[in-house]
Amino acid sequence: MNVEIDSESGFCFGVVNAIKLAEQSLGERGCVFSLGDIVHNGLEMERLEGLGLRTIAHGNLTASMQGETVLVRAHGEPPQTYEAAAEAGIEVIDATCPVVAKLQRTVAAAHARMTERGGQVVILGKRGHAEVVGLTGQARGGAEVIVVEGENDLNTVDFERPIYFLSQTTQSLELFGRISDELMRRAHDAEEVTVHDTICRAVASREGRLGEFAKRHDVVVFVSGRKSSNGRLLFEVCREANPHSYMVEGADDMQPEWFAGARSVGVCGATSTPKWVMESVARAVGVHDGR
Ligand code: F3S
């Protein structure tokens, strides 16, 4: 049986950069705290915890952590987080992905513009996702910032007023296009709708190519942490292209019957999937095959 690992799956540069910064600071300090998981992958988190990384929640940013070091992960944080850390005397290592940092500035500018014009900012994103919390946090007072997850949420938008529409970096281009069309169609004045595509191409460019990869194989094993929103999105791409697609967190989740009669197996993953986990899954596929 032929087993191929997708050469373009795995960490995007934003996550590579955050992990590098974490490893570097762990090497210097021995113990570093991260606000939430640096990467939505349990196995990679276990590896980093072995190096001294500790995950904390926002409520921990108090004076009891004075002198400690906290890493802001690639998803970014709202300004309130930096303020709480400064007040508590906590050092911050900022691993916000440059693409997300730019988007935060874009949201702040869009919010200022909409406040001036009596409009609203609409963000396509997952409510409560760390990146989205960082984006909505750029707006304090003034125009509302409305998060929509799909067409069903559009009744929260006031179509009589100007709209500035943008997206969380990891959303689907297809959904963004559909929502933009709908906003234009329902707006009282389509000229008052600004559409700003802020989807990160490190993810978007993978969709089409991943579908081709999935079609090339009899069975596809998609490796991803279950908490990864990008993982769920890309897994759907695989499943649409090839119904014999299975999602696993690691080699232990695989079942031998998936591979019965398969001549070729493709192993791929999300932007938060480490290469070393895909490699161990690929080796285990060979074992399930009886070799
Ligand atoms: Fe950054 Fe894009 Fe990755 S926004 S964290 S490079 S998916």
For ligand 1, residues with CB inside 6 Å are 12-15, 74, 97, 99-100, 169-170, 200, 202-203, 271
pLDDT tens digits, 185-212: 999 999 999 999 999 988 778 888 999 9
- Where does the pLDDT of residue 213 fall: very low under 50, low under 70, confident under 90, or very high at 90 and above? very high
| Segment 80-119, tens digit of pLDDT | 999 999 999 999 999 999 999 999 999 999 999 999 999 9
Q: Is 144 a catalytic residue?
A: no
Q: Which of 72, 97, 105, 132 to mutate to test the pocket of ligand 1 (most atoms within 8 A of CB)?
A: 97
Atom 5 (ligand 1) nearest CA: 14
Q: Which residue has the tokens 């290469």?
A: 275
Spatial separation of the C-alpha atoms in residues 234 and 270, rounded to whole Å: 7
First vs last C-alpha separation in the chain: 9
Closest residue to atom 6 of ligand 1, CA basis: 14
Tell me how far apart the alpha carbons of residues 93 and 176 are, in angstroms, rounded to a whole number: 32
- DSSP letters of 169-232? TTS-HHHHHHHHHHHHHH-SSGGGEEE-----HHHHHHHHHHHHHHHTSSEEEEE--TT-HHHH
Chain centre to alpha carbon of residue 265: 26
Q: Please check the confidence at residue 230 and state whether its pLDDT lies above 90.
A: no
- Residue labelled with tokens 């595509």: 197
Whether 285 has a pLDDT exceeding 70, the answer reads: yes
CB atoms near residue 185 (< 10 Å): 10
Provide the Cα torsion 228, 229, 232, 234; round to 10°: -100
